Chain A
Amino acid sequence: MKKPGAGRMVQGLQIVGAVLFFGIPLFGVGPYWLGVLNQVGLYAVLALSLNIILGHAGMFHMGHAAFFAVGAYSTAILNTVCGWSILGALPAAGLAAGLFALLVAAPIIHLRGDYLLMVTIGIVEIVRIALVNDIFGLTGGANGIVGIARPVIFGLRITRPHQFFYLIWAFVALTMLLFHWLENSRFGRALNFIREDPVAAEGVGVNSSRYKLMAFCIGAVWAGFTGALYASQMRTISPGSFNFWESVVLFMIVILGGSGNQKGVLLGAFLVMGLPELFRGLLDRFPGLQDARLLFFGAALVLMMIFRPQGLLPPKGRRYRLPPEVAR
């Protein structure tokens, strides 16, 4: 048994860590590193939303970039063609991604694991090809859309890296809070039940198709929001940013970090997106090493699955305290 004080200390350290993290721009960290952290933040939100689908519902979904793309393109089109502000377009981007998810996922939601994986890869490719082919004459083909506006919040125009840092990481914090609540709700428990034993879940009356579809749509809506942020940060988006490989990266962040655990996913985002940047100086000195980066990455994935398949930080099981009259 751990002492009850130890848990509180870990919690305290985490809060201190979070506060220090949000102070990073004040310590004179350069725009380059803030840019890296912003990228980590965007991927963290995407991976957290994928975590609902892959980690909690246990659906092998490798097409998350498709929903990200729908969100980013909706924002870009609403902004550049219709003149909406970014914050105005944000809910619409989420809605568009969610509706798209509902449309494509409804017929395939019943498919078993690896089949679902292939179909979601197919979806992400179809979306990319549709974007390249300038579907509806709105997406600008292979060049994408340029000149997307910056977000304006309470009259403040967000342009500089440190401003984006606060915007993105506040969004990460909000996401973690909401998803934490979601995970521990009836909904989250139902998803875990479906993941562990779909037959038993159906047996006690959990409508697994409906819950899975809901998980899919929630994840997609969130990816759509992230797409809106991404579009306004980059100001230029093109189909190349939403390919199959992006989906693989997100998938790996969740699996490596620990699917089903928010802290694990966050760690995964830092490792996959941040670590290569940290070693960039070293890598630049040995050009061969730079090219071989992904080679090691692939080998690491295999080794990881052999020696620690549950990820670096696997989720702790749910714990409930017995009601006092039973405990006695």
Chain B
Amino acid sequence: MEVFIQQLTNGLAVGGIYALIALGYTMVYGVLKLINFAHGDLFTLGAYLGFTILVSFGLGGRIGVGPAVALGVMLVMGLSALAGHIMERAAYRPLRKSGRLSAVVSALGVSIFLQNAIMLVWGAKGLAYPADLLPRFVIPIAGQPVPLLRLVVFLTSILVMVGLYAFINRSRVGMAIRASAIDQGAAKLMGIDVRQVIALVFMIGPALGGLAGLMVGVSYGQITFFMGQLYGLKAFTAAIIGGIGNIPGAMIGGLLLGLVEAFGAAYVSVAWKDAITFFVLILILVVRPTGLLPERVAEKL
């Protein structure tokens, strides 16, 4: 029971982070049919920006922990969105009319560029968020002490996802995003500026990815310039599990993957943890390539 509760909460927190990153993949894929390989590195960028803002500037000591975290979250999300926007303008927009392979290779190029840019700016050694950045509360759940931070991470991601879901489904802009995902040509005929929709999607996704990076830094401490690679792959797996292009699917896929990984590590083997994830990815693609939920953008795989 002790292991179960710990792994359950742990899996939900990690799953929430995967889900947040997965949303970026799934939204971009929805409108552009492109796997944005560089998304994982924008997540890393978020973690490093958070480090600079919260730790290097020591924001918490100047304006108090609460406001500092709120300001930090906003800054990280805004700067990540800006980076995503620049990336879209420089590397993806010129390729809108080219083949799929060109876009994929360009995305790879951006990923390599970002990874190395982060390494050059912040160093190759990796950084550690100090453990006392946030007060560490522990709350009992079913008699087990569970770090409050885990629940905060989980709840934050759920909150953000619900907000995004409402935005996509209820607002006019959200409607434009959905329309562009279903049929770009028809959306243009209806007077939707698809180019702006794509630009917007490339800001929302990285903002959420940056937030996920910040949360990883705050809750796990250690950050490295190449961590986006593994997180990115896993988040992509989560997006596939939920059916790529499908926003609720990405949330469910992320949480599911987090749980599978946490329980797999606890009950099967820690050393095979990552292999289990990729095995799940392959299994899903072989058995049900459209993901567990029906794919929003109907297309043959």
Contacts and interface: CB of A to CB of B under 8 A. Distances in A.
B275 A126 contact: yes
Interface in A272-310: 291-292, 294-295, 297-302, 304-306, 309
B278 A295 contact: no
A125 B236 CA distance: 15
A27 to B, nearest CB: 35
Question: Do most interface residues of chain B lie in helix, strand or loop, or is the interface mixed?
Answer: helix
Q: Which 6 A-B pairs have the closest CB atoms?
A: A301-B109, A298-B113, A298-B112, A122-B278, A302-B109, A295-B116
A60 B94 CA distance: 22
B147 to A, nearest CB: 28
Interface string B99-113: 111111110111111
Interface of B: 34-35, 90-91, 94-95, 98-106, 108-117, 119-120, 124, 229, 233, 236-237, 240, 269, 271-272, 274-275, 278-279, 281-282, 285-286, 289, 300-301
Contacts of B103: 305
Question: Do most interface residues of chain A lie in helix, strand or loop, or is the interface mixed?
Answer: helix
A294 B110 CA distance: 11
B113 A295 contact: yes
Interface in A7-56: none
A123 interface: yes
Which one of B95, B102, B282, B289 has the highest number of Cβ atoms from chain A below 10 Å of its Cβ? Answer: B282
Given A301-B106, A301-B109, 12 more contacts: A112-B300, A117-B104, A118-B240, A125-B274, A132-B271, A133-B269, A133-B271, A248-B112, A251-B108, A298-B112, A299-B109, A305-B103
10 contacts: A113-B100, A113-B101, A122-B278, A122-B282, A125-B233, A294-B115, A294-B116, A301-B105, A304-B109, A305-B102
A115 interface: yes
Given A112-B301, A295-B113, A302-B90, A126 B106 contact: no
Contacts of A299: 109, 113
Contact of B275 (A108, A130, A292): A130
Which one of A122, A125, A252 has the highest number of Cβ atoms from chain B below 10 Å of its Cβ? Answer: A122
Contacts of B237: 118, 122
Contacts of A298: 108-116
Contact of A119 (B98, B112, B285): B285
Interface in A80-125: 107-108, 110-115, 117-119, 121-123, 125
Contacts of B278: 122-123, 125-126
Contact of A255 (B101, B120, B282): B101
B286 A107 contact: yes
A182 to B, nearest CB: 22
Contacts, number: 126
Contacts of A230: none
A240 B111 CA distance: 21
A118 B106 contact: no
B277 to A, nearest CB: 8
Contacts of A164: none
A242 interface: no
Which one of A112, A114, A291, A304 has the highest number of Cβ atoms from chain B below 10 Å of its Cβ? Answer: A114
Contacts of B117: 295
B104 A114 contact: yes
Nearest to A125: B278
A206 interface: no
Contacts of B282: 107-108, 119, 122-123
Contacts of A129: 271-272, 274-275
B135 to A, nearest CB: 37
Interface in A241-285: 244, 248, 251-252, 255
A111 B109 contact: no
B300 to A, nearest CB: 7
Contacts of A292: 116, 120
A291 B286 CA distance: 40
B112 A301 contact: yes
A60 B99 CA distance: 13
Contacts of B240: 115, 118
A119 B281 contact: yes
Nearest to A297: B112
B301 A115 contact: yes
A291 B76 CA distance: 26
A125 B232 CA distance: 13
Given A129-B271, A133-B271, A302 B281 contact: no
Nearest to A292: B120
Nearest to A244: B229
Contacts of A297: 109, 112
A244 B113 CA distance: 17
A294 B115 CA distance: 9
B120 A291 contact: yes
A111 B102 contact: no
Contacts of A123: 278, 282
Contact of B301 (A111, A126, A305): A111
Contacts of A244: 229
A115 B105 CA distance: 14
A175 to B, nearest CB: 24
B18 to A, nearest CB: 15
B100 A108 contact: no
A70 to B, nearest CB: 16
Contacts of B124: 291
Nearest to B92: A302
B102 A301 contact: no
A133 B269 CA distance: 10
